[in-house]
Structure 1
Amino acid sequence: MKPIRNSAKAIIVRENKILLTKNRDDFGFYYLFPGGGQDPGEQLRDAVYRECIEELGAGVEVHDLVYIREYIGKNHEFAKWDSDIHQVEFYFNCSLLSETTAFLNGTNPDQDQIGAEWVELDHLEEIRIYPQALTKMIRQKESSIRYLGDVN
């Protein structure tokens, strides 16, 4: 099994929409919260900022930590190729530093990323988003620190 990896993620909500990265795989389109792996010696807040530059092409102001989620690949739908993955994800409320609404891919987007998209909060259940478990809490504006465990 690979070492446990920390990941820092951004929750960016504005005008009843959330900003997500749009990705494509063999099953079609899917959405992720902007963010990614923490580098050695890097604080989680700095990782969120860097990852948003890389994936969105925009800086963010990092606010409070709101959710902690684990992903243990062997327990989920992609176990066939993710069985050796164990990731701890830290989700922060964030706001964009600029008011731009159009994004190109950032400076270093993920391999499957094809862009970024504002998605209506009321339509989150209609898209393939990971982790799906967060969508209800975000729509209901639950934002106290919560440990979610191993959910997808």
Structure 2
Amino acid sequence: MRNRGSVVIMEDNKLCLIKRSRNNSIYYVFPGGGIEPEETPREAAKREAFEELGVTVQINECLAEIEYEGTQYFFLADIVSGSIGTGQGEEFTERSLDRGTYLPMWVEIDDLSAIDVKPLFVAKK
């Protein structure tokens, strides 16, 4: 079990998500990842936003804490600089890892009910 820090970024009635294709299924997740031993959940969320999305963010309040294979923290965040889709994390550079595909994208909030967002609890908030 590993604790995770994730960001919830909303702009212009859209939510930034990562479209995952893995093991013949497609689903969407919030950008984020594992918290390193020396990091706080906020620091991990900020680092993961840069690695996965290519953006620097300002971390705001914690929207949710969910217990699932460790504690998962979801922070509301605002983009300070950078461009979505320019992330250089290992998800994009280590092709030998069998993790499926990652595609950062904006999703209309009105379209969330038609896609498989994990965790749904956070998307509904």
Q: TM-score, normalised by structure 1?
A: 0.71
The equivalent of 1:126 in structure 2 is 114
DSSP 3-state at the match of 2:70: strand
DSSP 3-state at the match of 1:117: strand
- Supply the distance in 2 between the matched residues of 1:57 and 1:121 (Cα, whole angstroms): 22
Task: Specify which of 57, 62, 73 is matched with residue 90 of structure 1.
Answer: 73
The equivalent of 1:32 in structure 2 is 29
Structure 2: runs of 5 or more not aligned = 93-98
* Deviation for aligned residue 1:57: 1.4
**Cα separation, partners in 2 of 1:113 and 1:106, compared to 1, 3 Å:** farther
* Deviation for aligned residue 1:64: 0.9
Residue 114 of structure 1 pairs with residue 102 of structure 2: yes
Tell me how large the CA RMSD over aligned residues is. 1.7
Would you tell me which structure has more strand in proportion to its own residues?
Answer: 2
Task: Specify which of 64, 73, 84 is matched with residue 61 of structure 2.
Answer: 64
* Deviation for aligned residue 1:105: 4.1
* Deviation for aligned residue 1:99: 6.5
- Supply the distance in 2 between the matched residues of 1:40 and 1:99 (Cα, whole angstroms): 26
Task: Specify which of 104, 111, 119 is matched with residue 86 of structure 2.
Answer: 104
Structure 1: runs of 5 or more not aligned = 72-85, 138-152
Identity score, percent? 31
DSSP 3-state at the match of 1:39: coil
Report if the CA contact (8 A) 1:21-1:113 is conserved.
no
* Deviation for aligned residue 1:7: 0.5
